[in-house]
Amino acid sequence: MKDIRIAVIGHGFMGHEHEKMLKDFPGIRLMGFSDKDPKQLQDVAEGLKRYQSNEEIFEDPEVDVVLIAANNNQHHDLVIQAAKAGKNIICEKPAAMSLQELDEMVKAVGENGVKFTIHHQRRFDPDFRTAKEVYDSGTLGAVYAVKSQLYGFNGNMHDWHVFVSEGGGMLYDWGVHLLDQLCWMFPGAKIRSVFADLRNVINKEVDDYFQIMLRFDNDVTATVELGTYYLSDKTQDKWFERHWFVAGNKGSAYVDGFFPEGKVVRTTHLLTNVGGKRTMTAAGPTRSFGPAPEGTIVTEALPEIHTEHRNYFENYVRAYHGEEDFLVKIPEVRRVLRLMDAVRESARTSRSIDFE
């Protein structure tokens, strides 16, 4: 099968990540990069093209796919231009800054008969896949709560991410990944309602904190919390924290870190009414929060998960050749954008929003 020839627009942070990933990727030939800032092309690796403009990519008959890794506010126009040039497209997340933008992009893609998908490689994050595997295994019984949390400790929001006009803010940046993961975790489940708090804690223009509660019709309430400004004196290897918590009526699981550590903690039988022995703690006497009777709780290792971001492009290669579906489908992407609109509306009105 012929290699898929991919050229990338944007050689910034993500452009460099794509260069590392795709330089020697089976089934893919990385052609080169364009960037509106010529300085950004100076360190493009030997052997790759430095396109002088995006148009040069669109006109290059050797390019099969354009991968768009430019700022969020560029995705709409670049996708439409690439589609009109007959190029297949992978676009970085968030696909678009609004539903209207996405719909216009999809129209252009449809009119020109090109392939279009979005780079949501975080569906392969091992922490997420571990939490999903625990949920799917049924080992926790009827799951009622899932928490997905990400905290940064240094207050860092940088470059264009602090400007609304550029598509800045944490909802577009990380929120889209975290919501996409939760939607994908429960296939077929509808989201009945959304309640959210979305704040500019220190940034003038854009959100830098959010807490979002999604009530799914599979009886799970999922909470997503992200904070960029939880200042802390943690040491260098602890610039952030990532946590999952999954709770069911037979046990719970905690999954900590991107390469997770944690445990499944289960009961040997439902503990609806255990003898309320009085326990003295530093905070005073307790019965509800005392230790469980011996033998009623067991701990187990988390399942071992071996996913990685390159799996996204492995799927891309197979799907491009028609061997399977693209992992990331546009209706899923549209749903997450709608969800982000509901998040904003809930935060603005302080009300829960009916969703599906």
Ligand X SMILES: NC(=O)c1ccc[n+]([C@@H]2O[C@H](COP(=O)([O-])OP(=O)(O)OC[C@H]3O[C@@H](n4cnc5c(N)ncnc54)[C@H](O)[C@@H]3O)[C@@H](O)[C@H]2O)c1
Residues of this chain that bind ligand X (CB under 6 A): 9-15, 34-37, 40, 54, 69-72, 74, 92-93, 119, 121, 159-160
| CA separation for the pair 18, 251 (Å, rounded) | 40
Give whichever of 120 and 266 is closer to ligand X, judged by the CB atom: 120
Minimum distance from residue 35 beta carbon to ligand X (Å): 4
Residue whose Cβ sits closest to ligand X: 12
Give whichever of 23 and 351 is closer to ligand X, judged by the CB atom: 23
Minimum distance from residue 54 beta carbon to ligand X (Å): 5
Q: Please report which helix (H) or strand (E) contains residue 101, including its range.
A: helix 99-112
Minimum distance from residue 161 beta carbon to ligand X (Å): 8
Give whichever of 127 and 139 is closer to ligand X, judged by the CB atom: 127
Give whichever of 159 and 323 is closer to ligand X, judged by the CB atom: 159
Q: Is the dihedral of CA 282, 284, 289, 293 positive or negative?
A: positive
Minimum distance from residue 59 beta carbon to ligand X (Å): 15
Cα Rg, the chain, nearest whole Å: 23
Minimum distance from residue 153 beta carbon to ligand X (Å): 19
Give whichever of 69 and 170 is closer to ligand X, judged by the CB atom: 69
Backbone φ and ψ for 283, nearest 5 degrees, come out as -90, 0
* Residue 4, beta-bridge partner list: 28
Minimum distance from residue 183 beta carbon to ligand X (Å): 16
| CA separation for the pair 97, 332 (Å, rounded) | 15
Give whichever of 35 and 60 is closer to ligand X, judged by the CB atom: 35
Per-residue b or e along 227-257, where b marks 16 or more CB atoms closer than 10 Å to that residue's CB: bbbbeeeeeeeeebbbbbbbbbebbbbbbbe
Q: Parallel, antiparallel, or unpaired: how do β-strands 88-92 and 261-267 relate?
A: unpaired
DSSP 29-67: EEEEEE-SSGGGGTTPPTTSEE-SSHHHHHH-TT--EEE
